[in-house]
């Protein structure tokens, strides 16, 4: 087992700049790009169809990959999309209680307005905007293309008296 560092000195202390992106594998590439760009408001930074790189094969641990790739960004948060032509991907339904990536979250200024606009566009939340974390936040979960679950959260200023 690798040394995880000590409680006083994390293993990668001083080496991490910040979180950069989350990557999603999708079947409907154009639908996923459209949702992230046209609904969420992310900016498409780059796209390569039939991206093939030996170094990427080795990095992801799959031989002879052939992918449709894109990187999108909003306020410094990046989403990387992959559609694998080879080897072909398969859908893996995931519930919020399952292990692994369960959802993306975007902080918003006006959750009620976000909810209204999403509903009008045909994206339905699991429930109305609800307060969580002792009133520190309100949120909704919406399922987009590919079953990608997106949380929209309106955060209240931090209060020391709030119950987590």
Residue 3 has a pLDDT of: 53
**Does residue 91 contact residue 147 with C-beta atoms inside 8 Å?**
yes
Give the other-Cβ count within 10 Å of 161's Cβ.
Answer: 6
Architecture of domain 19-90: Roll (3.10)
Domain positions in the chain are 19-90, 92-164
- Mean pLDDT (the chain) is 87
Average pLDDT over residues 1-20: 71
Q: Which residues of 70-85 are buried (b: 16+ CB within 10 A; e: fewer)?
A: bbbbeeebbbbbbbbe
Residue 92 has a pLDDT of: 85
Residue 123 has a pLDDT of: 93
Average pLDDT over residues 131-159: 85
Fold match flag (19-90 vs 92-164): yes
Which residues are paired to 73 by β-bridges? 43, 78
Average pLDDT over residues 48-55: 93
Lowest mean pLDDT segment, chosen from 17-21, 93-97, 110-114 = 17-21
Residue 6 has a pLDDT of: 58
Residue 99 has a pLDDT of: 85
CA distances from 33 to 26, 44, 58, 127, 154 (A): 10, 8, 26, 25, 24
Domain 92-164 -> CATH class:
alpha beta
Q: Taking 90 as the threshold, does the pLDDT of residue 18 lie above it?
A: no
What is the percent of the chain with per-residue pLDDT over 90, rounded to a whole number? Answer: 58
């Amino acid at each position: 087992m690798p040394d995880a560092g000590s409680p006083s000195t994390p293993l990668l202390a001083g080496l991490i700049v910040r979180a950069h992106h989350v990557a999603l594998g999708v079947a409907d590439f154009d639908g996923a790009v459209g949702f992230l760009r046209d609904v969420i408001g992310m900016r498409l930074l780059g796209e390569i169809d039939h991206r093939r790189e030996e170094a990427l094969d080795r990095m992801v641990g799959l031989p002879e990959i052939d992918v449709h790739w894109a990187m999108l960004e909003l306020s410094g948060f990046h989403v990387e999309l992959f559609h694998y032509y080879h080897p072909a991907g398969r859908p893996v339904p995931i519930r919020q209680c399952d292990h692994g990536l369960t959802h993306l979250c975007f902080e918003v200024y006006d959750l009620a307005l976000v909810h209204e606009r999403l509903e009008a566009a045909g994206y339905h939340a699991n429930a109305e905007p609800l307060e969580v974390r002792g009133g520190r936040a309100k949120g909704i979960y919406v399922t987009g293309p590919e079953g990608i679950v997106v949380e929209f959260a309106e955060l209240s200023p931090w209060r020391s008296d709030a119950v987590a």
